Structure 1
Amino acid sequence: METVPTVKKRLRPFQAKWQQFWSEPWFAIATIILAAAILIFIVAPVFAVLLKSFGIGTGQLTFDYYKEFFQASYYWEALKNSLLSAIITTVVVLFLSINIALYVTRTKNALSKSFKGIALLPLVAPPFIFSLSLMILFGRSGIVTDYVSDLFGGQFSIYGFWGVVVAQIIGYFPIGYMLIESTMRNSNADLEYAALDLGSNQWKTLGTVTLPLAKSGIIKAGLLVFVMALADFSNPLIIGGGEQFLASEAYLLVVGQHNLELAAVLGVFLILPSLIVFIFQTYFLKDSNVGTISGETGSQNVPLSKSVKAFVVTISSMFIAFILLMFIMVVLGAFVKIIGINNTFTLEHFNNETGWDSLSMSLYVSFISAILAAAIGILQGFLFARKPIPGKKLFEFLTLFGLAVPGTVMGIGYVLIFNGPPFFLTGTVMILVLNMTFRKIGVGMEAAISKMHQIDTSMEEASSDLGAGPYKTFWKVLVPLMVPPFVAGFIYAFMTAMVSISSVVFLISPDTNLVAIYILNLAEQAKVGLASAMSFIMIVIVLACLGLLKFVEKRTGIRI
């Protein structure tokens, strides 16, 4: 049994750290407020969903809702479709990303540069935009559908499981591509040259050297795409043709049947893969790419051989052309009366008061959310990088986990927590702002931490030696230096808030409708012209944000 002096000795380091934490009380208070906000707006909604799935809140603990899930073939079908579509989407996205990344990183011409830009275009639109384009081309009365029917007879339609998969491939492709392209661009070219010098052909070198060096980036890309496709909410609603998927079924359970308990069960099956992937990426794959770490050799990437180049150019050209076609369909649909039927030029689709109202609401909510997300992220980054905070790693983990939680789960969680006392916020602008803010603060925090590591502590020490206290040093020295990560975090948060849908769809009211959800409703009703017009406006806005973000990244070196 430990003696009292021994216990006191063990407590001394903790007491010293706690005293150091409170040595600057305003920063300590700010840390506590931030920690409480993370628990309320990120952690609590997830736990609320978990608890609701066991019936807690109805008066007793029960497994009946899990039994209902496992006994109903309907929900098993939703789970199977979600998993299968996520696996197929991931495999195809990785294949396409590797091919296009190889061409872009190993070829320097105007075509490869244009491919790089076009490959990122799906970032500027919600994933369901591509379901809209697929409807225009391959729907029951689509342009291609009518042509094929006239030519060969019969009836073809994109609606169903494969329509969802195609839309997911296009929508989530940039996520996989960016990670793989970055990894391949920074890989160690000397190892590939060595393999070729030893007599290996380029096909064999790709399999034994190039792809193994990019393994970490490929795995990260695959995990992210899998989780995003698994949690896809909007594409099954628009183009699923009645097929069951987990996220869309959870939404229908909440909105159509008000069965929050069973919706929570479906949410649990969405949380678990996201949590596993997030922990794996955070603790096992972080900075583990040997090729990237050792890649600063000064050697240029190995040029592609004729056979390899012919293959990757063919694959890349076909997919890039398909991406362009998707965007062209949206643009044409916005400026003609009924695309494929009456192609007369018109601007009447833009004369939509409800659409403009929802757009203005989205701009307002996204702007406020982006300001808050960037500001809170910067403050968090400063505190985590410079201050002795107890449980720092845990709160950093929880902040970043907000990025990983599927939007459907977060939306259900917010309904459970903020739809009654003491926080009755459902249907207000405030809950939309809070939801978007705390789902994005991890980006600003990471950018701020990265920037703080670049700022020498001698600057703060010099300010202190000149008589400035810690708070004045923060405002006068550090805040001006943190403007670049703030701007980058703001633009990213604004851009992603404009196209977000899966969480806020649970929280809107007739007075707080957002443009992405309005477009989703139009697409579900097959109002292609109106949906295309509002999509076109949103794409232009988000494309401008993406261009501005790339400019900020280029000028500051801060990557989001």
Structure 2
Amino acid sequence: MISENNENVLIERFKNRWKQFWSEPAFAIAAIIIAVLLILFILAPVVAVFLKSFGIGSGGFTLQYYERFFQTPNYFRALKNSVSVGLISTLIIILISLPFALYVTRSKSVVSKAYRGIALLPLVAPPFIFSLALIILFGRRGIVSSFLNDTFGIEFSIYGFWGVVIAQVLGYFPIAYMMIESSLRSINANLEDASHDLGAGQGRTIQKITFPLASGGILKAALLVFVMALADFSNPLVIGGNEPFLASEAFALVTGRQNLEMAAVLGIFLIVPSLLIFLYQTYFMSAIDTTSIDSTSGSENLPLNTKIKSVTFVISSLMVFFIVTMFFMVIAGAFVKIIGVNNTFTLEHFSDRSGWKYMYNSVIVSFFAAILAAGLGMLQGYLTARKNIPAMKFLEFIALFGLAVPGTVIGIGYILIFNGPPFFLTGTVLLLVMNMTFRKIGVGLEAGISKLGQMDVTMEEASSDLGASRFYTFRKVVLPLLSPAFMVGFVYTFMTSMISVSSVIFLISPGTNLASVYILNLANQAAIGRASSMSFILILIVVACMGLTKWIEKRSNIGI
């Protein structure tokens, strides 16, 4: 009898929840559409890769592909190289980011402000641009390599394991730097002052107070950089030489050997660390914040003493020098015939018709992806923050997980799902747009939730009290107020889609090639001039987008 009563209660609750869900049909339908799209374009590809790695879909369940992975020295070496590169790159980046962020946050000089801007430059470039610059300088016929060979008889080449490490250090440095700088700026300056007043030297204060308080941001930065370095696709492909890496080997298995099962196994080794770290950051680290923030946070800290300032300045200057040099090499390579060999000024590299065509493709695909990602993300943010719709938190998790899934895994998953019945979308512009949209939808979602958190719900209640329907209130009151969040999602998605490589390279066709993939192919073919010219154009477009993003951020108080 008790069990029957419980069952009736559950049924009644379900009916009430169902009625409440459909009380606003427009929002209910929107929630269903978003759920279907998120599952189809984010969750399903990941699940498809997981199932394929066990042979499901091409036979029965089997572990033979995992056995083959561990029995094949090249695959195991690829895993070892990827993990080793990730760990070494992460360690170097953190060791550089700490003094760099310390110098920038504890100095008000013009130099420190300039350094802060230069540190962010790698964000505007394709992920492999530093590999391209390193080839110009240290390749087999590079400027420095040729000088060493001609002058001292020393043969030197940057290709291989350490070339990938250097490229990743330069490329992923701004990610760690931004997070660590933000943590250092958030520390309550009174705590450092108290340590100083009690007689501790500045070095001890930094060691015992500053860095421990910023440890949350430092750890987040390290985890994020490690995942990005582990899943790096383009740098190993361009400068890795004969060294195997997980992402590049997976690409070779798909495009060269049509071995989707083994490619899926390599993809699993890429996604497992990403998933674990994503869960750790989302559900564990979010509840632990060691940074002390109050009304005095962000106030003026004690200036660095001469010794510490000198050390941090030297390290920061060296990093700035390398970043500027890399960019200069690429830009210079676009305007000379053969950089380091024939430095005659020319504009012929910009006459590449294929390059301009693919640049146009990138702009169009990125534009529509940005509109969809920003619009759907903003709508999902509203449903999550304002509507009591079942499973919206789970859908929020999927959307944010799309940002963490390695591009190689998404690319393989899309091939598995959209290269056969009931979908035949590989090689189409539509699939490229969907890929970019749902890899970045989490940014628009978070921007929308952040903006709604700043909005007083009484404005919506007042509109309803005056007789407006909830949909009319959403359209006339909420949407205008959410326009800054839409622009944040739009600009970010457009900017990152323009330089995206790892997932779209699996999905392009000769007619739908994109600029970033084309530049990557040019770099692999040692067509340095054309690769540099297209990179220069791409950088200009992304710089404009970043400037617009910062302007929106200041106007709307939305952090990105």
Aligned positions of 1:47-446 closer than 5 A: 47-286=47-286, 288-294=288-294, 296-297=296-297, 299-446=299-446
Deviation per CA, 1:419-459: give whole Å up to 9, x if none.
01111000000000000000000000000001111111111
Rounded to whole Å, the distance in 2 between the matches of 1:468 and 1:60 is 57
Shift of 1:284: 1.1
Residue 148 of structure 2 aligns to which amino acid in structure 1?
V
1:530 is aligned to 530
Does the Cα contact within 8 Å between 1:370 and 1:437 map onto a contact in 2? Answer: yes
Deviation per CA, 1:24-46: give whole Å up to 9, x if none.
11101110111111111000000
- 2:337 match: secondary structure: strand
- 1:159 match: secondary structure: coil
Shift of 1:150: 2.7
Rounded to whole Å, the distance in 2 between the matches of 1:247 and 1:329 is 27
- 1:254 match: secondary structure: helix
- 1:344 match: secondary structure: strand
Residue 416 of structure 1 aligns to which amino acid in structure 2?
L
1:497 is aligned to 497
Residue 164 of structure 1 aligns to which amino acid in structure 2?
V
Deviation per CA, 1:209-263: give whole Å up to 9, x if none.
0000101100110000000000000111111111000000000000000000000
Does the Cα contact within 8 Å between 2:418 and 2:425 map onto a contact in 1? Answer: yes
List runs of 5+ in structure 2 lacking aligned partners: none
Rounded to whole Å, the distance in 1 between the matches of 2:295 and 2:465 is 41
Rounded to whole Å, the distance in 1 between the matches of 2:295 and 2:189 is 7
Q: 1:462 to 1:268 in 2, by over 3 A?
A: same
**Could you tell which deviates more after superposition, 91-100 or 344-353?**
91-100
List runs of 5+ in structure 1 lacking aligned partners: none
Residue 166 of structure 2 aligns to which amino acid in structure 1?
V
Residue 555 of structure 1 aligns to which amino acid in structure 2?
R
Residue 108 of structure 2 aligns to which amino acid in structure 1?
K
Shift of 1:133: 0.1
Does the Cα contact within 8 Å between 2:363 and 2:498 map onto a contact in 1? Answer: yes
Rounded to whole Å, the distance in 2 between the matches of 1:288 and 1:102 is 23
Rounded to whole Å, the distance in 1 between the matches of 2:233 and 2:51 is 22
Q: 1:453 to 1:419 in 2, by over 3 A?
A: same
Shift of 1:207: 1.0
Does the Cα contact within 8 Å between 1:106 and 1:303 map onto a contact in 2? Answer: yes
Shift of 1:392: 2.1
Residue 111 of structure 1 aligns to which amino acid in structure 2?
V
Rounded to whole Å, the distance in 2 between the matches of 1:151 and 1:17 is 79
Q: 1:297 to 1:366 in 2, by over 3 A?
A: closer
2:29 is aligned to 29
Q: 1:292 to 1:554 in 2, by over 3 A?
A: farther
Does the Cα contact within 8 Å between 2:216 and 2:291 map onto a contact in 1? Answer: no
Shift of 1:287: 5.8
Does the Cα contact within 8 Å between 1:186 and 1:295 map onto a contact in 2? Answer: no
Does the Cα contact within 8 Å between 1:17 and 1:388 map onto a contact in 2? Answer: no
Shift of 1:12: 4.2
Deviation per CA, 1:527-557: give whole Å up to 9, x if none.
0000000000000100111111111111111
Rounded to whole Å, the distance in 1 between the matches of 2:511 and 2:299 is 58
Does the Cα contact within 8 Å between 1:125 and 1:499 map onto a contact in 2? Answer: yes
Q: TM-score, normalised by structure 1?
A: 0.98
Q: 1:206 to 1:295 in 2, by over 3 A?
A: farther
- 1:343 match: secondary structure: strand
Rounded to whole Å, the distance in 1 between the matches of 2:129 and 2:105 is 29
Shift of 1:77: 0.5
Rounded to whole Å, the distance in 2 between the matches of 1:461 and 1:84 is 55
Q: 1:559 to 1:350 in 2, by over 3 A?
A: same
Does the Cα contact within 8 Å between 1:220 and 1:281 map onto a contact in 2? Answer: yes
- 2:187 match: secondary structure: coil
2:520 is aligned to 520
Root-mean-square deviation over aligned CA pairs: 1.1
Rounded to whole Å, the distance in 1 between the matches of 2:142 and 2:495 is 31
Does the Cα contact within 8 Å between 1:365 and 1:432 map onto a contact in 2? Answer: yes
Q: 1:310 to 1:298 in 2, by over 3 A?
A: closer
Rounded to whole Å, the distance in 2 between the matches of 1:138 and 1:3 is 75
- 2:256 match: secondary structure: helix
**Could you tell which deviates more after superposition, 19-28 or 145-154?**
145-154
- 1:328 match: secondary structure: helix
Q: 1:7 to 1:296 in 2, by over 3 A?
A: farther
**Could you tell which deviates more after superposition, 530-539 or 278-287?**
278-287
Q: 1:69 to 1:329 in 2, by over 3 A?
A: same
Rounded to whole Å, the distance in 2 between the matches of 1:458 and 1:101 is 41
Rounded to whole Å, the distance in 2 between the matches of 1:201 and 1:53 is 56
> How high is the sequence identity, in percent, across the aligned residues?
61
Rounded to whole Å, the distance in 1 between the matches of 2:335 and 2:328 is 11
- 2:291 match: secondary structure: helix
- 1:508 match: secondary structure: coil
Residue 276 of structure 1 aligns to which amino acid in structure 2?
L
- 2:344 match: secondary structure: strand
- 1:252 match: secondary structure: helix
- The aligned length equals 560
